[in-house]
Structure 1
Amino acid sequence: MLLSKKQPSAAATQWIEKVKYHKNRDSYFKFLGNPHFRYTAFLLVFLSLWFLLQVFWFPPTKPTQTKFSTTTPKPSAGKCNGDVAVYVYNLPAEFNLGLLDDCSHLNVYTNMCPHVANHGLGQPLDNMDLQSSDSNPWFATHQFIAEMIFHARVDNHPCRTWDPSKANLFYVPFYGGLHVSSNFREPNHAIRDALAVRLVDFLQAQPTWRKNNGKDHFLALGRTSWDFMRTNSGPDFGANCLLNLPCVKNMSVLTVERNPWKGSNQHGIPYPSYFHPSTSDQMMTWQNMMRQSNRPYLFSFIGAPRKGVGKAAIRDEMIKQCMESTQCKILKCDHGNPKCYNPSEILKVMRESRFCLQAPGDSFTRRSTFDAILSGCIPVFFSRHTAYTQYSWFLPEEASKYSVYMDEQSEESKRIEEVLMKIPKEEVDTMRATVIDMIPRLTYAHPNASHSDLGFEDAVDVALQALAQHVRDKV
């Protein structure tokens, strides 16, 4: 853009002409008698006039500076827009932090001590991208640890209030997922349910609860809803009865997988992946890397075969088709393949693929869906309950803009490569761009991130805003 040069005022023009006049007379003084005296006298007069004109003729002005931005403007994520005011209960330690004292027994299958470190982010990962950043955004995050990360983020959130009279949301930071996973093998149902029952008793005794009978209260759980919905007549999978308690049914429950049929008060939140940025620069750098990533494979599958007729069928079909195709990259996770526990290996496969097959896991959803989106890989779903009925707050309403769907019982699922090959390149590029744009809102930012530096809305921001609107409609 060309900037026009400001023209001098009439007064300024006159002054310029005066200066020219006196400069032209300098040579004349040299020929007068005692030229040094005359020159000195003239100089003193000249400086005096110049000083007086500067003070009285030209008014003082403030300097202006035009700034040109070469980067995308950062949204103001450091301030609360007024729609959310969340009060965090200070629960007795037995409901959350006290559980961590026995972290080695929080899961019947694995030692959770390394995973509960760093507010639930787990251990820092080396040999990942963006290592030159001021802070390392990569962690070996456990897939069932969202409740701890959520708690840490809300504790440091700009929309948090310490005054319950000003709150429109009341967060109950119960580590229910960690507790239930430590009691899967407990045969006595009363013992398995005891902590959940004590939580309900505590809440019902609070004045803040009685105001709206808990309708403005919410939980965030890191495991699927099925782990908290045991009934006396149904099968026992080691679950407790938390979500079936009448008190909890009044609340909103955030969970990594909701019950599509009996979960009207349940809302899906993303599984945590490995990336937890502290700044918008880290996020934008990663997104740009995913846009430029070379993807030599048409599709990929990461996973192990499953037992059981329903689960085994579609997975066996995927593994078979992928192994027979030269355009598919497979990472089989049976027999304890160590690559399947290495985040860099997992993300490498997805970053090299245009489409990532997302078969249901032990339940409908799987953490791999969010690993794929983080890698800019377009997810291919075979059950609507893997994403579409789960994460309505986070995903575009029109599923075809960011994903491909093949019903696991359809003929399409038997010829995956053929179906994917028919999608025009321009459409694939548009879908991938949408997927990469989705990364921030499906990511859990580092809990210690400065709100002025974060510059984007993460999964917790999205959940709080949607939850506030949901409560306003309900209360």
Structure 2
Amino acid sequence: MSSSRKHHFDIHSTCISGHYCLKSAISFSVLLAFSFLVLFLWYPPTRTNISSRIHSHYNHKPPKLKLCKENFSVYIYDLPTKFNLGLLGDCLNLNIHRNMCPHVANQGLGQPFSGWPGLGWYATNQFTSEMLFHARLENHRCRTLDPEAATLFYVPFYGGLHASSKVREANLSERDALAVELAEYVVRQPWWRRRGGGDHFLVLGRTAWDFLRKRDGGQETGATCLLNLPAVQNMSVLTVERNPWQGSNQHGIPYPSYFHPSTSDEMLTWQKLIARANRPHLFSFVGAPRTGIQKAAVRDEIILQCAESSECNLLKCGNGNGNCNDPRRVLGVMTASRFCLQAPGDSFTRRSTFDSMVAGCVPVFFSPHTAYSQYGWYFPGDPSAYSVFIDYEGKGNGSEKRVDIEEELRKIPEERVERMRKTVIGLIPRVSYLHPNSTDNEMSDAIDVAIRALSKQQAQAEAA
């Protein structure tokens, strides 16, 4: 390996293979099978459903709370389980496109994977932030068990998982029933009346559009009406994508990526590793084509330009190829690229934005609503400090001059690229979700950023 590539990740080199003696393997298998038969006959199995196994991951006994050095404290409502953990018992039907059982395991982290440098890597689904918030706040150092002492009240409703399970329900009253019941439950609580819900918040793992159902040209858009309920409009709503125009009580939070360290040492080790990674590709794109006039035009043009450029690494998703379902392939492309293109997907935002930042790759945006109007709590006020913006809205359909992406990126001086990459790597802790069981008080993550921002917002509201 040449010295210029000595720090470049090769995920294939970390794969482990072994050779086993056939005779020994057969003997061991026979012995193992006989042992299981004896155990089965002597100790008949007991039935344990998925829900009970999932519940065991959470703390039902009051945790030993660590010293909180903040000027806020969070009380977690003990909701009936039908609003959160009880939904997980039907994990096979939580999403119409995939079996969510592997993804809701490990408190929403999903399945751990190996063959990648460092610790804390999980194949986390992009829609599990509501679970990650719940699990981490259960053990958070600033959680209080006394509602009288609380400055913030967290309502742990898994609204995103519920909405995705009901999206094909024809009966709209049935589709909305649990959301309506949640609102009715919360407003009956004595702590709600203290500030009319102004100090309450909930977290949604899907975009705001999934909870803003309305009639559009005779068609119903959005899965449920949750965000249209008056009680919920009084609360703060943390969601992976807010409505940029009418979401005054909505606040954007990062999509979960794959990195969930438990300690600050694990975080620092990863940051140092990617800071010196070799990046042979100028830019890359990970994604699939989209339908719809505007989305299809931008996506198709980006994919075309990437495919035509010797400087671009293209990882196409879709058509059952599974390319983007392997975190190692996704991260492998991004860690080898200086810039990562972030075209809008089914909506404005992309989980890929946060994957690229974890990989130390400078994001390139084509709509201001992919990040700039979404994640004000998390990113610097100057977008040029950590990203590149190419105004591609309305382009790519022949009506205006084609923008050459490679040419635009080549114009950026190398010194500025290095500064942007350093900023991106420095942002990794605040856009990551720590392992829910982390006890490292020195490291702040996406959840800490959100709670501090909510506390500041609440203090300003009380002072007004």
* Mapped pair 1:85 → 2:68: no
Other-structure match for 1:466: 453
Distance in 2 of aligned mates of 1:366 and 1:238 = 18
How far 1:414 moved relative to its partner?
A: 1.9
Distance in 2 of aligned mates of 1:384 and 1:412 = 20
Q: Secondary structure at the match of 2:349?
A: coil
* Mapped pair 1:223 → 2:200: no
Change over 3 Å in CA distance of 1:124–1:173 after alignment to 2: same
How far 1:80 moved relative to its partner?
A: 2.4
Q: Which stretch has the larger CA shift, 465-474 or 427-436?
A: 465-474
Q: Secondary structure at the match of 2:381?
A: coil
Among 378, 388, 391, the residue aligned to 2:375 = 391
- Deviation digits for residues 64-108 of structure 1 (CA, Å, limit 9, x no counterpart): xxxxxxxxxxxxxx7422322100000001100111111111111
Other-structure match for 1:39: none
- Deviation digits for residues 306-352 of structure 1 (CA, Å, limit 9, x no counterpart): 11111100111111111111111000113222221100000000000
* Mapped pair 1:311 → 2:295: yes
How far 1:237 moved relative to its partner?
A: 3.4
Gaps of 5+ in 1: 1-77, 131-135
* Mapped pair 1:122 → 2:122: no
* Mapped pair 1:296 → 2:280: yes
Other-structure match for 2:338: 354
Distance in 2 of aligned mates of 1:92 and 1:374 = 36
Distance in 1 of aligned mates of 2:203 and 2:315 = 32
Amino acid aligned to 2:353: T
Change over 3 Å in CA distance of 1:94–1:321 after alignment to 2: same
CA contact 1:186–1:238 (8 Å) conserved in 2:
no
Amino acid aligned to 1:451: D
Distance in 1 of aligned mates of 2:311 and 2:325 = 24
Other-structure match for 1:3: none
CA contact 2:215–2:221 (8 Å) conserved in 1:
no
Q: Give percent identity, aligned residues only.
A: 60
Distance in 1 of aligned mates of 2:256 and 2:209 = 19
* Mapped pair 1:158 → 2:145: no
CA contact 2:356–2:362 (8 Å) conserved in 1:
yes
* Mapped pair 1:138 → 2:125: no
Distance in 1 of aligned mates of 2:402 and 2:373 = 20
Change over 3 Å in CA distance of 1:106–1:208 after alignment to 2: same
CA contact 2:209–2:222 (8 Å) conserved in 1:
no
Amino acid aligned to 1:332: K
What's the TM-score, normalizing by structure 1?
0.81
Q: Secondary structure at the match of 1:474?
A: helix
Other-structure match for 2:53: none
CA contact 1:317–1:414 (8 Å) conserved in 2:
no
How far 1:128 moved relative to its partner?
A: 1.6
Amino acid aligned to 1:468: S
Among 159, 170, 173, the residue aligned to 1:190 = 173
Distance in 1 of aligned mates of 2:102 and 2:144 = 31
* Mapped pair 1:415 → 2:404: yes
Other-structure match for 2:35: none
Among 105, 112, 120, the residue aligned to 2:93 = 105
CA contact 2:212–2:222 (8 Å) conserved in 1:
no
CA contact 2:290–2:299 (8 Å) conserved in 1:
yes
Q: Secondary structure at the match of 1:286?
A: helix
Distance in 1 of aligned mates of 2:356 and 2:67 = 30
Other-structure match for 2:32: none
Change over 3 Å in CA distance of 1:412–1:464 after alignment to 2: farther
Change over 3 Å in CA distance of 1:318–1:232 after alignment to 2: closer
Q: Secondary structure at the match of 1:354?
A: strand
- Deviation digits for residues 262-309 of structure 1 (CA, Å, limit 9, x no counterpart): 100000000000110000110000000110100000000011111111
Other-structure match for 2:197: 214
CA contact 1:270–1:370 (8 Å) conserved in 2:
yes
Change over 3 Å in CA distance of 1:472–1:317 after alignment to 2: same
Distance in 2 of aligned mates of 1:351 and 1:109 = 29
Other-structure match for 1:444: 433
Distance in 1 of aligned mates of 2:356 and 2:401 = 21
- Deviation digits for residues 174-233 of structure 1 (CA, Å, limit 9, x no counterpart): 000000000010011100000001001111110000111100000001000000011245
Among 416, 422, 425, the residue aligned to 2:414 = 425
What's the TM-score, normalizing by structure 2?
0.83
- Deviation digits for residues 29-57 of structure 1 (CA, Å, limit 9, x no counterpart): xxxxxxxxxxxxxxxxxxxxxxxxxxxxx
Distance in 1 of aligned mates of 2:159 and 2:89 = 15
Among 355, 359, 372, the residue aligned to 1:375 = 359
Distance in 2 of aligned mates of 1:305 and 1:228 = 25
Other-structure match for 2:63: none
Q: Secondary structure at the match of 1:366?
A: coil
How far 1:127 moved relative to its partner?
A: 1.1
CA contact 1:407–1:413 (8 Å) conserved in 2:
no
Among 387, 398, 401, the residue aligned to 2:385 = 401
CA contact 2:252–2:375 (8 Å) conserved in 1:
yes
Other-structure match for 1:41: none
CA contact 2:160–2:204 (8 Å) conserved in 1:
yes
CA contact 1:124–1:139 (8 Å) conserved in 2:
yes
Distance in 1 of aligned mates of 2:410 and 2:401 = 12
Distance in 2 of aligned mates of 1:273 and 1:279 = 17
How far 1:408 moved relative to its partner?
A: 1.3
Change over 3 Å in CA distance of 1:279–1:334 after alignment to 2: same
Name which one, 1 or 2, has greater alpha-carbon Rg: 1
CA contact 2:137–2:143 (8 Å) conserved in 1:
yes
* Mapped pair 1:456 → 2:443: yes
Distance in 1 of aligned mates of 2:250 and 2:402 = 30
CA contact 1:158–1:451 (8 Å) conserved in 2:
no
